[in-house]
């Protein structure tokens, strides 16, 4: 049996206070564990979305297989206008438009003016056969 003096000492001591704090800490730890589980689930779903976005970006950055320009020996760019290159570019532009990409985004990615992509679309993405541009001889002054 506990004496009244011991009982008074226990009531005045820190034991009930510490017991209450321990219970509060247990509740907090339990809440934190649940929060960590939720964060891990969210991170897994974000990882899936991020992976899908990364794959889409990789696909977008790999679309440019037909060069639009080449650099000459003197450092000036020359536009590829041979029929095969034009046909290849236009075919990819058509595919990208069918996938829902806007004209401006395609033009930006390919380094051409948006009106060039619109020109191709207006012609049904069927390039007309044309001659390579030739330089006209300069007139002597």
In degrees and rounded to multiples of 5, residue 105 shows phi and psi of -70, -40
Check residue 65 and give its pLDDT: 44
Q: State the alpha helices, DSSP H only, in the chain.
A: 4-12, 15-61, 83-98, 103-110, 114-122
d(CA 106, CA 60): 10
What integer pLDDT is reported at residue 60 of this predicted model? 59
- b/e sequence 107-128, b meaning 16+ C-beta within 10 Å: bebbebeeebbeebeeeebebe
Q: pLDDT tens digit string along 4-37?
A: 777 766 666 667 777 888 899 999 999 999 999 9
The pLDDT score that the predictor gives to residue 16 is 72
pLDDT at residue 35, rounded to an integer = 93
Beta carbons of 34 and 44 less than 8 angstroms apart: no
Residuewise pLDDT in 10s, the chain (141 residues): 677 777 766 666 667 777 888 899 999 999 999 999 999 888 888 888 887 777 776 665 554 544 556 666 776 656 666 677 788 888 889 988 998 999 998 888 888 889 999 999 998 888 776 555 566 777 776
- In this predicted structure, what is the pLDDT of residue 20? 82
What is the share, in percent, of the chain residues with pLDDT greater than 90? 21
The answer for residues whose C-beta is within 8 angstroms of residue 10's C-beta and 6 or more apart is: 2, 16
121: which residues sit within 8 A by CB, 6+ positions away? 93, 94, 97, 103
The fold for domain 79-131 equals Arc Repressor Mutant, subunit A (1.10.10)
Residue 18's φ and ψ, nearest 5 degrees, are -65, -40
Within a 10 A sphere around the Cβ of 86, how many other Cβ atoms?
20
pLDDT at 80: 66
Taking the model in full, what pTM does it have? 0.41
As a whole number of angstroms, the distance between CA 71 and CA 69 comes to: 7
């Amino acid at each position: 049996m506990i004496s009244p003096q011991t009982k008074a000492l226990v009531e005045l001591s820190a034991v009930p206070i510490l017991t209450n704090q321990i219970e509060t800490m247990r509740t907090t730890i339990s809440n934190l564990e649940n929060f960590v589980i939720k964060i891990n689930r969210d991170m897994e779903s974000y990882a899936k979305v991020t992976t899908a976005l990364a794959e889409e970006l990789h696909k977008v950055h790999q679309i440019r297989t037909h060069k639009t320009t080449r650099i000459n020996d003197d450092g000036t760019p020359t536009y590829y206008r041979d029929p095969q290159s034009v046909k290849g570019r236009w075919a990819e532009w058509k595919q990208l438009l069918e996938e829902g990409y806007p004209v401006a985004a395609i033009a930006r990615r390919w380094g051409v003016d948006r009106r060039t992509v619109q020109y191709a679309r207006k012609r049904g993405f069927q390039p007309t056969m044309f001659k390579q541009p030739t330089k006209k001889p300069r007139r002597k002054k």
